[in-house]
Chain A
């Protein structure tokens, strides 16, 4: 597997505060990676740099070997999709209209939507289980449904990579699991590269191929769930004494002492 993103000696500063310093990291194609860390550890910032929402102060991020700002904005949007942590209100758009906006990178300001586009849109809505809600206004949906609508928009974007910033924070357990399972399944079917910021380390270990942890803007752990899910590493990540049990192969339960 080749590297999708190559992050080299990355540093980000906002004002005088250093948010991320000197990170070297590769994200491999077709891999689902979880970004872990406590609040303010720089996870979201790293994700924003990958999504080109934020320019790094130092270092470089290469996408498929190309350096920054080489690709046109819409070109980039056809390759990488990004879901912000707090999607704004959508002011009366229905679910279907929102998801249809995901086709913009492919059709541009004036291009006609073909029947293929509408198929993709309906497929994305079906994949996220929103078909019954497709004509409802996004603002009137519950938090979880709204989050799924935004994920559906990303699916309709048909990118090779998804960057998700806490996509399951507003969901109940059932929908958390189903959303992650969906992401996992899509990643396998379409060979997607996924980077997802998660707070629930057990779910991360269950559904991701690789866990990457940040603390104070620095990389402190990087490996397969097998390598990360032990009490020592979790303690370094979260700064509280923790224990881990492996109930079955690939299924861990972590707890706080």
Chain B
């Protein structure tokens, strides 16, 4: 009945580069891994190291009990995580989802941290148990929060991201309070595959195999998810149950791995992405090739880590770190490569934005200002002493200022900067989930700082600020470049941010693993130790903030216009490219100024603009004013609390803000779902 105009084509075949890459990856990684042994052993005995050894030859014993199990376990874990990642992507209908993104690995790590500190006996009984419990806790929170929104992929990833950061902050809090117990946890946390017997491998392989088989059995129902929730359920699949079951298996798989070797973050994300980039099309192909590529990738990363450890000054380089170095670029490549992520399978439209009633900016502003002043007075005056709580009389404030003033001022200013930067970035990207922290812009600034510490150069505060600004601008610029093609869709931005975060995190772990005095200093800075601030620094920050605020007055209208899209904005006479560049620089300076003081992980840049919206400020200018005040208030409170919570010791204010902020945000997300 239809006119047959087209010539029939044959069924699409698997592109040859896929098996070729997989084979090359495996062979290359195996060869590189075996290379150091070849001078001591001949090829045959290197290969036979996997099943036997020559008791009279020391290298042969070493190869059998150290090298061969390490290679085997890297391959096994890589395969398992690759498969788990591919399944996660299918379940969430999101090409960039993975166990890492869902907070599973952070949760598992949190479980092990808690057990190490409070119930070491449990750890001896079963490592899996605590890690699985932690992983389930994390994913349970994600599921509970996003249940009402029908697991919409962007929300799931957002919740997972917040939980990852949140659990990371909790881990850090424990580390700072009980650091002496947790030193090894850092190396473990970064994923070290060093082995000294076959026992762990023998323990692990049946579990991975069983879980893998269970996941493969779910293949056909999983395929239906590709058609979207409506069609999948009208074909008779129980979508909710299916997603739960598959995610449960994924948690088991990742937590089992995490409990053995720690967080190997990027395999589950990079392997499926690579398979997809190389042309794996159907679900079967994707599952199969992600599994293989995962094994190859992890072995390669592990080999690199091994080489780096032996070439470097003998300090241990964890595999998780090198994996991040390999995985990061693949993710960024993928962000660039995916064309139609707007129509990813199963992706529903976002839940309708909720718009609270508009309120007067004057009243809201005045209330916030009053609260800020009250906090200021209380923070300056009311504090615990050696005996008791007491008021410092106002006449003695001159002396108290030296101790309490600069850090308080700096905290408030950092809050103001983050509030402004958050609003700015949200408006620039037109995405309410965008924030300096989640998008990795703070992470970019922090990465530069970590690098500076790593190289051991001393450049002073101004130099730090400059370097951090550069890092923030680079991160933001990169994101804008990447996300522009997708019109700043949530996924791309958030995952780009995650990639940057993991980069930064692995750099930090590298510093921590190498130990030394810089490590503790860096850790305190990362989590926003405001006590490091001097008076001149606080005052110069004040000056900088005031100047930028003036600049922002000019920016309000262009920002409003940019929200209409490039075409409309330029036809209204706005020089779009120049406006974007200017705003980019402003946002980067603001973020950097705040990051230098409060560290990259405070969540204030996410919460303050959100709070401003909740308080009924919808237009650009109003949102900025209220969000700046709210940010200042939040960090002033956090700074005060950080001084008194575990008096006479101190917690970094940024960490406190992150903990409180994480809770607020999760609560807000669940409320959003109900609305």
CB within 8 A of A139: which of B11, B12, B340?
A: B340
Which listed segment binds B: A55-63, A87-95, A199-207, A243-251?
A: A87-95
Q: CB within 8 Å of A: which of B384-432?
A: none
Is B235 an interface residue when CB atoms closer than 8 A count as contact?
yes
Interface residues of B in 1-20 (CB under 8 A from A): 1-2, 4-12
Interface size of B in residues (CB-CB distance below 8 Å)? 38
Beta-carbon contacts under 8 Å, A52-85 to B: 52-53, 72-78, 80-84
- Across the interface, name the chain A residue whose C-beta is closest to B218: A109
B residues within 8 A CB of A51? Answer: 230, 234
Judged by a CB distance under 8 angstroms, whether A129 is at the interface is yes
For the complex, is A240 an interface residue (Cβ under 8 Å from B)? Answer: no
Neighbouring A residues of B310 by C-beta, 8 Å: none
Q: Within B145-186, which residues are at the interface with A (CB < 8 Å)? A: none
Q: Which residue of A lies closest to B95 (CB)?
A: A91
Q: Which of A81, A90, A132 contacts B6 (CB 8 A)?
A: A132
Roughly how many angstroms separate A113 CA and B340 CA in the complex, as a whole number?
Answer: 31
Chain B 231-255 near chain A by CB (<8 Å), digits 1 or 0: 1011111100000000000000000
For the complex, what is the distance from the CA of A96 to the CA of B281, rounded to whole Å?
A: 14
In the complex the two chains form, what is the Cα distance from A107 to B221 in whole Å?
11
B1 touches A90 (CB 8 A): no
Bound-state CA distance A87–B2 (Å) is 23
**CB-based contact B282/A178 at 8 Å:** no
- Among residues 324 to 383 in chain B, which have CB atoms less than 8 Å away from a CB atom of chain A? 340, 342-347
In the complex the two chains form, what is the Cα distance from A21 to B228 in whole Å?
28
B550 within 8 Å of A by Cβ?
A: no
B226 touches A93 (CB 8 A): yes
Least CB distance, B665 to chain A, in whole angstroms: 23
A4 → chain B, closest Cβ, in Å?
Answer: 16
Q: Indicate whether A133 reaches chain B with its CB closer than 8 angstroms.
A: yes
Bound: A201/B184 CA distance, A: 73
User: Contact between B228 and A104 (Cβ–Cβ < 8 Å)?
Assistant: no
Q: Which residues of B contact A78 (CB under 8 A)?
A: 236
* Interface: B461 (CB within 8 A): no
Sort chain A's interface into a size bin. 35 or more
User: How many Å from the CB of B180 to the closest CB on chain A?
Assistant: 50
From known contacts A94-B12, A135-B12, infer whether A101 and B223 are also in contact, taking CB-CB under 8 Å. Answer: yes
B44 at interface (Cβ–Cβ under 8 A)? no
Q: Determine if A88 and B8 form an interchain contact, defined as CB atoms under 8 angstroms apart.
A: no
- CA–CA, A74 to B221, complex, Å? 11
Residues of A within 8 A of B121 (CB): none
Among residues of A, the one whose C-beta sits closest to the C-beta of B4 is A132
Residues of A within 8 A of B231 (CB): 82-84, 87-88, 150
Residues of A within 8 A of B5 (CB): 132
Least Cβ–Cβ distance between A75 and chain B, in angstroms: 7
Min CB gap A109→B, angstroms: 5
Find out whether the CB atom of B235 lies under 8 angstroms from the CB atom of A102.
Answer: yes
Q: A101-B223, A133-B6 are in contact. Are A92 and B217 (CB under 8 A)?
A: no
By the criterion CB–CB under 8 Å, are B345 and A88 in contact? yes
- CB pair B228 A53 closer than 8 Å: no
In the complex, which residue of chain A has the Cβ closest to the Cβ of B279? A92
Interfacial chain B residues near A8, Cβ < 8 Å: none
Contact A53 B344 (CB under 8 A): no
Q: How far is the CA of A181 from the CA of B8 in the complex (A)?
A: 25
Verify A73–B236 contact, CB threshold 8 A. yes
Report yes or no: B282 in contact with A88, Cβ–Cβ below 8 A.
no
> How far apart are the CA atoms of A138 and B312 in the complex, in Å?
51
Query: What is the predominant secondary structure among interface residues of chain A facing chain B?
Result: mixed
Does A136 interact with chain B (Cβ within 8 Å)?
yes
Q: B448 at interface (Cβ–Cβ under 8 A)?
A: no
Quick check: A82 and B345 within 8 Å, CB to CB? Answer: no
Contact of B12 among A72, A137, A182 (CB under 8 A): A137
Which residues in chain B, 288-343, are within 8 Å of chain A measured between CB atoms?
340, 342-343
**Residue A216 lies at the interface, judged by CB distance under 8 Å to chain B:** no
Q: Which residues of A contact B344 (CB under 8 A)?
A: 88-89, 91
- Closest chain B residue to A134, Cβ basis: B8
Bound complex: CA A78 to CA B237 (Å): 12
Decide yes or no whether B671 CB sits under 8 A from chain A.
no
Which residue on chain B has the smallest CB distance to residue A79?
A: B236
For A48, the chain B residues whose CB sits under 8 A away are 230
Q: Is the CB of B6 within 8 A of A82?
A: no
Whether, in the assembled complex, B141 has its beta carbon less than 8 Å from a beta carbon of chain A, the answer is: no
The answer to whether B340 touches A84 (Cβ under 8 A) is no
A90 to B282, CA, bound (A): 10
Cα A182 to Cα B282 in complex, Å, equals 30
A188→B10 CA distance, assembly (Å): 34
Is B224 part of the binding interface, using a Cβ–Cβ cutoff of 8 Å?
A: yes
Q: Are B7 and A132 in contact (CB under 8 A)?
A: yes
Find out whether the CB atom of A88 lies under 8 angstroms from the CB atom of B343.
yes
Q: Is the CB of B227 within 8 A of A136?
A: no
Interface centre among A51, A74, A93, A96 (most CB of B within 10 A): A93
| Given A93-B282, A132-B8, A182-B1, A73:B217 Cβ within 8 A | no
Are A82's CB and B234's CB within 8 A? yes
A110 contacts partner chain B, Cβ-Cβ < 8 Å: yes
- CB-CB under 8 A from B12, the residues of chain A are 94, 135, 137
Least distance between B633 CB and chain A CB atoms (Å): 32
A94→B230 contact, CB < 8 A: no
A190 to chain B, nearest CB (A): 17
Asked if residues B236 and A77 are in contact (CB atoms below 8 Å), the reply is yes
- Please tell me if the beta carbons of B346 and A88 are within 8 angstroms of each other in the complex: yes
* Complex-state Cα separation, A48 to B234, whole angstroms: 10
B3's nearest neighbour on chain A, judged by CB, is A129
Min C-beta distance of B149 to chain A, whole Å: 14
CA distance A139 to B658 in the complex (A): 42
B228–A87 contact, CB under 8 A?
yes
Contact B235 A104 (CB under 8 A): yes
Docked-complex contact B347 and A88, CB < 8 angstroms: yes
Q: Is the CB of B282 within 8 A of A89?
A: no
Could you say which residues of chain A place their CB within 8 Å of the CB of B219? 109
B234 CB contacts on chain A under 8 angstroms? 51-53, 77, 80-82, 84
Say yes or no for A131: interface residue by CB 8 A criterion: yes
New A-B contacts (7) at CB < 8 Å, excluding given A73-B238, A84-B231: A52-B233, A84-B228, A90-B226, A91-B345, A104-B235, A109-B221, A137-B281
- 6 A-B Cβ contacts within 8 A? A84-B228, A88-B231, A89-B343, A93-B226, A109-B219, A134-B8
**Closest 4 interchain pairs by CB?**
A129-B2, A89-B343, A77-B236, A74-B236
